[in-house]
Amino acid sequence: MDSSSNNDVSPSLGEEEEGNDTMEQVEANSRSNTPTGSGQDRKRKRTSAVWSSFVIVGKNTQGKEHCKCKYCGKQYICEGTHGTELADSNYKHCPSESEWGNVEKLCKFLRHFYDTTNLFSGTKYPTSNLYMPKVFITYLTLMQNLASDDPFFKAMSNQMYTKFNKYWFDFSTILAIAIILDPRYKMEFVMFVYERLYGAESKQLEEVKGKLFALFNEYVTSSTGRSTIRPSPQSYPSTSSGRQRVDDLDLDFDNIINGDIVDIQRTQLDLYLEERRLERSIDLNILDFWKGNEPRYPELAAMARDVLSVPISTVASESAFSMGGRVLDQFRSSLLPNVAEALVCSRDWILGNGESAILKCEEITKDLWEMEDDSTPASTQTMHDQSSIQGY
């Protein structure tokens, strides 16, 4: 059956009989409007299963008999030379008009989750600073669909929101710090999100602020240089005319200045937060940004380098929504912490050299695994001790 003039579609009618027998039955039936007699083709029944989805509607202006799909409403020509062919045998009939509408809305709804999954699974760019904006948009999307009048989308969003609350609603503190270190968002975005989720002056926001400054102080303490930003000392000619300086006064002054330098150890972070944010829409390489600003913010840049290296997920994007069991090979299920660190660093170095310089990572992984197998039993105790510390 071929589609009529405005709906030229060529699906197929079933394959119940071999060859063109079914099509010939339809053609013979469409030509036979009078009782059959001797010398005429005997009228045969339409035995194809596809006719359960169509109804005969009559002839068009060209005299060709038409049928209409009971589900989508499209009309097709009933002739033996035309037919329909289902691309997938699992479909019993084509979707109805309302079902197509639901499919269209569903694609728009799930597009955000698809894009977010691919973004989080990236391996050639930092992902930790992408976490909070995308998760917050996901929350707003689910809340919008929970208020929908469509019962299908409301029920689906309700189930998804339950999962969201379980795994994503409590924002990771370290990933919240990562978005603060993005000059396009900074602290203002974290305050905006937390106020929408938990209310103004929430304890969650205060916790993020406290841990941000505490983490920065750790980097300042472990640094050999001073964290304050100040010009290099310059020498000036003496203006003394033989008069001795008042040593006690100068000593007091020096003590005050030195004390101020110690107190100013948080200045790098304060100055960064006080600076105007960059435009959110610009395409920024955040690692290049901190590399270029390292002379101004040495300790803060070191902290940003470490925080931004944290991956959001170690699961491949194609497995993110898989309902099957997670398959962990020997290289991911039982690695010593130092071996895992070596793998991550080596992989980062290899990928940093570009596509042409990528080596066979599996061979490197196997070599490291064999090296771990050759380790002494004492390493097992070390792993146990380190796991205990990590779980603390």
Q: Confirm if 35 and 41 have CB atoms less than 8 A apart.
A: no
Residue 353 vs residue 237, higher pLDDT = 353
Q: How far is the C-alpha of 119 from the C-alpha of 282, rounded, in Å?
A: 17
pLDDT of residue 102: 83
Task: Give residue 212's pLDDT band: very low, low, confident or very high (50, 70, 90).
Answer: very high
Q: Between the CA of residue 279 and those of 186, 236, 300, 328, what are the distances in Å?
A: 11, 42, 21, 42
Per-residue pLDDT averaged across 225-232, rounded? Answer: 45
pLDDT digits (tens, 9 = 90+) for 163-189: 888 877 777 888 899 999 999 999 999
pLDDT of residue 66: 78
For residue 34, give both structure tokens. 């009078």
Residue 32 vs residue 291, higher pLDDT = 291
Residue 85 vs residue 378, higher pLDDT = 85
Q: How far is the C-alpha of 113 from the C-alpha of 137, rounded, in Å?
A: 10
313 CB-near residues (< 8 Å, 6+ apart): 120, 121, 127, 320
What burial class does residue 220 get, using C-beta atoms within 10 Å of its C-beta: 0-12 exposed, 13-18 middle, 19+ buried? buried
- The full 3-state SS of 293-321, as one line of letters, equals CCCCCHHHHHHHHHHHCCCCCCCCHHHCC
Q: Is 56 helix (H, G, I), strand (E, B) or coil?
A: strand
Query: Residue 233: what are its φ and ψ, rounded to 5°?
Result: -65, 140
pLDDT digits (tens, 9 = 90+) for 191-211: 998 888 888 878 888 999 999
* Size of the chain, expressed as the number of residues it contains: 392
Per-residue pLDDT averaged across 287-292, rounded? Answer: 92
Per-residue pLDDT averaged across 57-63, rounded? Answer: 77
Nearest CA to 340 out of 312, 317, 302, 371 is that of 371
pTM above 0.85, yes or no: no
Per-residue pLDDT averaged across 146-167, rounded? Answer: 84
Amino acid making up residue 15: E
Nearest CA to 92 out of 14, 152, 18 is that of 14
pLDDT of residue 211: 92
What burial class does residue 269 get, using C-beta atoms within 10 Å of its C-beta: 0-12 exposed, 13-18 middle, 19+ buried? buried
